[in-house]
Amino acid sequence: MADREYDVIIVGGGPAGLSAGIYAARARLKSLLIEKAVVGGAIINTGTVENYPGFPLGVTGLELTELMNEQAKKFGLEMATAEVTALELRDDRKVLKTSEGDFLAKAVIVASGTERAKLGVPGEEQFIGRGVGFCAVCDACFYRDKVVAVVGGGNAAINEALELAKFATRVIVIHRRNELRATKIIQERAFAMPNMEFMWNTVVEAIEGDQMVNKIQVRNVVTGEKSVLVVSGIFVATGSKPNTEFLKGQVPLNEAGAVIVNERMETGVAGVLAAGDVRVNSIRQVISAAGDGATAAIFAEKYIVDKFKH
């Protein structure tokens, strides 16, 4: 196991994890970042990030995280592609059980992010990839000259709708409330789009189709009226849930599954920290995730020095 022992292991390769990796590796800690999919996290699906300091003309989420990744590797951060399935606490060491075997660390930084919540309605699972989508940046081009629906009212949903509006003839935003939760500047752009319309106080009850989605059943939550919309696709952006299944029973989580941390990003378990969207009260912005990652790495180093290097 000697080649699998590290000072710090970071779980998750989004902005929080990459920032933690930059700080940990730069502190000359033997550091490993484990990512189950593509390094960059959910932000790689964002077309343009306009509010990250230092990029006055904006930068794509993919470009931003590629630069972070390059920077982290320059300082010596190691990378592994694996899915973390469990965290075990053994005396002074933490064991991360993964699809590629076990890894040991003195400190662990959890930056595993969140995943999109699903509607849980009939037809949703059946048609994922066949008209049910979760990433407009990835799939919008397939809906050129078609009608498509987006479910949700926050920033994620409206950004999805704006991306789809570049291709689709008609984008229907379905929201269970009577006003959007997205920031004002994003709302202004959406309301200015001639091919975008809004169904307020409405929920999706079923998704139907043959080989592909061709209609959805919706219900007005105020009047109870039901109707059918003929669409070629539906994108779901109704919220997210923390990726913390592997932490259950080991680290304190809140009722939503988010990791409970203090201002140092420390959990209730010594040497286990959390950063980014996975933690409680995250504002879910790239800049705050990066700050969380830096904070977590600094206090992970302090933990290691105090605990192991007397």
Q: What is the CATH number of the domain that holds 128?
A: 3.50.50.60
User: Is 138 an annotated catalytic residue?
Assistant: yes
User: Is 141 an annotated catalytic residue?
Assistant: no
Digit-coded pLDDT (tens) for 60-97: 999 999 999 999 999 999 999 999 999 999 878 999 99
**E strand or H helix at 78:** strand 78-81
From 3, 7, 92, 139, the catalytic residue: 139
Vertex 14: Cα angle to 30 and 20 (nearest 5): 35
197: DSSP letter: E
Domain count, the chain: 2
From 7, 91, 92, 135, the catalytic residue: 135
**E strand or H helix at 24:** helix 15-26
Domain match, 80 and 110 both = yes
Q: Whole-model pTM? A: 0.83
Q: How far apart are CA 104 and CA 124, in angstroms?
A: 39
Domain match, 244 and 111 both = yes
Strands 132-133 and 147-151, bridge-based pairing: unpaired
At residue 2, the pLDDT reads 63
Domain match, 232 and 254 both = no
> For residue 61, with 0-12 CB atoms within 10 Å meaning exposed, 13-18 middle and 19 or more buried, which class applies?
buried
Which residues of the chain fall below pLDDT 70? 1-2, 310
Domain match, 145 and 68 both = no
Domain match, 220 and 251 both = no
Please say which residue of 236, 254, 281 terminates a domain: 236
Domain match, 139 and 166 both = yes
At residue 23, the pLDDT reads 98
At residue 310, the pLDDT reads 59
The whole domain housing 26 covers 2-115+240-308
Domain match, 125 and 190 both = yes
Q: Which residue has the tokens 């379905």?
A: 174
Digit-coded pLDDT (tens) for 155-174: 989 999 999 999 999 999 99
Domain match, 283 and 224 both = no
At residue 81, the pLDDT reads 97
Q: How far apart are CA 57 and CA 77, in angstroms?
A: 29
- For 10, half-sphere exposure in the C-beta direction (CA atoms, 13 angstrom radius) is 37
**CA 167 to chain CA centroid, nearest Å:** 25
Domain match, 76 and 155 both = no
At residue 57, the pLDDT reads 94
Q: How far apart are CA 232 and CA 27, in angstroms?
A: 51
Domain match, 205 and 259 both = no
Domain match, 123 and 222 both = yes
Please say which residue of 219, 236, 253 terminates a domain: 236
At residue 42, the pLDDT reads 85
At residue 49, the pLDDT reads 87
Domain match, 295 and 154 both = no
Please say which residue of 200, 217, 236 terminates a domain: 236
From 102, 138, 141, 306, the catalytic residue: 138
User: Is 135 an annotated catalytic residue?
Assistant: yes
